[in-house]
Amino acid sequence: MAPGGNRGWLLRLVIAFSFAQGAVSMARPAVSYRALALGADERAVGVIAGVYALLPLFAAVPLGRRTDHGRCAPLLPVGVVLISGGCALSGLADSLWAMAVWSGVMGLGHLCFVIGAQSLVARQSAPHEQDRNFGHFTIGASLGQLVGPIAAGALIGGSDMAGTSALALLVAGAGAAVACTSLWRIEHRDTAAKSRTGQGDRVPVGHILRSRGVPGGIFVSLSVLSATDILTAYLPVVGEHRGIAPSVIGLLLSLRAAATIACRLVLTPLLRLLGRALLLTVTCLLAALLCAGIALPVPVWALAVMLAVLGFCLGVGQPLSMTTVVQAAPDGARSTALALRLTGNRLGQVAAPATAGLVAGVVGTAAPFVMLGTLLLLSAGVALRSPGPPETPGPDAGKRPKRPGLRRTSDI
């Protein structure tokens, strides 16, 4: 595969993912604000945030099987269409149940895009290029997470919260549609042909889940994504209670995303310095303390500092937990293992916001962050007991012999 062609498809995928992720990151807080404007309480906000992950919870494994034994590229435009439609129709909905339905459609679209994109990067990258290419892919996702909340904060506000949040959702839907312009012929014909002819029998799901390292990697990923998800959904609620303007909340969420980008830029030297298990343990532990700290009535500047450090710590968990899962999975079941990890993520996105909503309704809006701190503390313990660290990437990574079933990847 020519380097120039390699960079071309990867750059187009990063651009597409930036628009798709930016739309979702813009829509999530906008959905919370619109739900509040339509009369939702903390419990209802949690339920709507959880429905975002409900459809993907059942679809992830079948989609993973499909990409293990078929093409990746068709999932990308399907995901974009579902994201765009879910955003726009959430803005037009005038009831909480309709918002919940379209939030689920948006989540299904995001899942389709992520599974297709991850599998595409894995197939079209040489072994020594996978760390770099997946790193660029996750930075593209973080760029979307950076821009989306700022755009939402710029549009939402004033006396007509319902109207401005609806406008933000419509703009998010239009932004997602732009992603389709970068997806034409993004999958190479040779890799598509290999995906149809080079696969053997399907590995049973139970066998994948029994592989040492897979359950722990899934749990760490679930915890980290739940933290990011609840932070996005509930920081607007905290802002409403503390009198923080939506524009400031948008900037705070974008600051968290910028710190995640910074983390992924320096992930390789951090791995060389600490190793995978220790790095995961330390960052999960720090994230646990910081999540609990958000429950304190701190000034905005202190909240900004906490979110910046928290974003840096959360940026480690997703790519490294993905690497753990893929390396532990049996050969020939890479996409299915990634899909099982995404199933765990979506399970957390269903259960964590709903639980957070119940806790917030009973104890207060800051309580979900204490719950997240506990979850991340458990993840630190799991990470500490994870299998021995694999080789860290280096300039001679492509020259090392490759053990069967060992692959490196990253994730959002």
Whether residue 53 contacts residue 107, with contact meaning beta carbons closer than 8 Å, is answered with yes
Q: What is the pLDDT of residues 295-334, one digit of tens each?
A: 888 899 999 999 999 999 988 887 787 777 777 777 677 7
pLDDT at position 201: 63
Mean pLDDT of 207-222: 82
Run of H or E including 264: helix 246-265
Q: What is the pLDDT of residues 349-374, one digit of tens each?
A: 677 767 777 776 666 666 778 888 88
Does the pLDDT of residue 63 top 60, yes or no? yes
Does the pLDDT of residue 6 top 60, yes or no? no
Mean pLDDT of 172-199: 75
Helix, strand, coil percent values for the chain (each to nearest 5): 80, 0, 20
pLDDT interval class at 202 (50, 70, 90): confident
Q: 370 in a domain, yes or no?
A: yes
| Chain centroid to CA 181 | 22
Does the pLDDT of residue 3 top 60, yes or no? no
What total number of domains does the chain contain?
A: 1
pLDDT at position 270: 87
Does the pLDDT of residue 196 top 70, yes or no? no
**Residue the block writes with tokens 């390396």:** 327
Q: What is the pLDDT of residues 266-303, one digit of tens each?
A: 887 888 888 878 888 999 999 999 988 888 888 999 99
Q: What is the pLDDT of residues 329-354, one digit of tens each?
A: 776 777 788 788 888 877 876 777 67
pLDDT interval class at 194 (50, 70, 90): low
CATH number for 156: 1.20.1250.20
pLDDT at position 315: 87
Does the pLDDT of residue 190 top 70, yes or no? no
CA distances from 333 to 67, 101, 345, 378 (A): 10, 32, 18, 28
Q: 396 in a domain, yes or no?
A: no
Q: 395 in a domain, yes or no?
A: no
Mean pLDDT of 228-249: 83
Does the pLDDT of residue 229 top 60, yes or no? yes
Does the pLDDT of residue 113 top 90, yes or no? yes
pLDDT interval class at 199 (50, 70, 90): low
Name the average pLDDT for the chain.
79
pLDDT at position 69: 64
Does the pLDDT of residue 160 top 70, yes or no? yes
Q: 57 in a domain, yes or no?
A: yes
Does the pLDDT of residue 412 top 80, yes or no? no
Does the pLDDT of residue 70 top 50, yes or no? yes
Run of H or E including 89: helix 75-92
Structural domain including 59 reads 3-390
Mean pLDDT of 153-176: 90
Whether residue 88 contacts residue 175, with contact meaning beta carbons closer than 8 Å, is answered with no
Q: 398 in a domain, yes or no?
A: no
Q: What is the pLDDT of residues 22-35, one digit of tens each?
A: 999 899 889 988 99
pLDDT at position 18: 93
Give the residue from 409, 376, 371 showing the smallest Cα distance to 390. Answer: 409
214-242 and 246-265 helices, crossing angle to 10°: 150
Q: Which residue has the higher pLDDT, 220 or 336?
A: 220
pLDDT at position 302: 92
| Chain centroid to CA 402 | 29
130-155 and 3-37 helices, crossing angle to 10°: 30
pLDDT at position 51: 84
pLDDT at position 168: 93
Q: Which of 150-154, 190-194, 241-245 has the lowest mean pLDDT?
A: 190-194
pLDDT interval class at 197 (50, 70, 90): very low
Does the pLDDT of residue 4 top 70, yes or no? no
Cα–Cα distance for residue pair 65/395, rounded to 1 Å: 33
pLDDT at position 89: 94
- The three-state secondary structure class of 47 is helix
Does the pLDDT of residue 242 top 90, yes or no? no
Q: What is the pLDDT of residues 124-145, one digit of tens each?
A: 877 566 666 766 777 888 888 7
pLDDT at position 406: 30
Whether residue 176 contacts residue 83, with contact meaning beta carbons closer than 8 Å, is answered with yes
